[in-house]
Amino acid sequence: MSLPNYSIVQQHASQQLEIERLLDEVFGLSRSTKTAYRLREGERPMDGLSFVAVTADGEILGAISFWALRIGEAGTEALLLGPLAVAPIYHGKGIGRALMRHGLAEAGEMGHRLVILVGDEPYYARVGFQKVPTGKLLMPGPVDPNRLLYLELQDNALCAAKGLVLSPRRSG
């Protein structure tokens, strides 16, 4: 299938049902049991950091959100990237990378310093993510340590982050 023209814009509340259907299609109905989803439970995405790739006629091709986190006793601020989803018929067309680049640029402009996620390193490395050093961060549930990734939006942002990763509501 050829890639239609699309724009990356802020998500709107009216798109939430379609975004949820896309997430179910991409990740399955049990997606909410994963640790990254548990961190988002009861929280809202960061203002200004939820985007959709959408055609002129309103078809959502992909979606991404970022969520606030606190790390360790110091309460180091970070963002959690995800979920990132692209309609399966458009996989491999660059929409996910475009959404990430857009969202990461916006997050950097807003002064955020560090982004973490749970995902496939070969895919996310394309935009600069790398594996978190062993023992640096601890997720509040089961996560394959090879899938815990980070990206510094400001130099040395990971240095201050050490310990348990939690939502702001659950941290200290």
Burial of 123 (0-12, 13-18, 19+ CB in 10 A): middle
| Residue of 13, 35, 14, 17 lying closest to 25 (CA atoms) | 17
At residue 170, the pLDDT reads 64
For residue 68, what are the contacts with CB-CB under 8 A and spacing of at least 6? 43, 46, 77, 79, 80, 167, 168
Closest CA to 152 of 135, 132, 126: 132
Helices (H), the chain: 16-27, 35-40, 95-109, 121-124
Amino acid found at 151: L
pTM of the model: 0.93
Instruction: Determine the pLDDT at residue 38.
Output: 81
Q: Are strands 114-118 and 137-138 parallel, antiparallel or unpaired?
A: unpaired
pLDDT at 85: 97
The residue ranges of every structural domain in the chain are 7-166
- Walk along the chain (172 residues) and give the pLDDT tens digit of each residue: 789 999 999 999 999 999 999 999 999 877 877 888 788 888 899 999 999 999 999 999 999 999 999 999 999 999 999 999 999 999 999 999 999 999 999 999 999 999 999 999 999 999 999 999 999 999 999 999 999 999 999 999 999 899 999 998 764 4
Q: Which CATH number is 7-166's, of 3.40.50.720, 3.40.630.30, 3.20.20.140, 1.20.1440.230?
A: 3.40.630.30
Handedness of CA 38, 124, 18, 48 (dihedral sign): positive
Closest listed residue to residue 45, CA positions, set 18, 83, 71: 83
Dihedral sign of CA atoms 82, 118, 23, 55 in order: positive
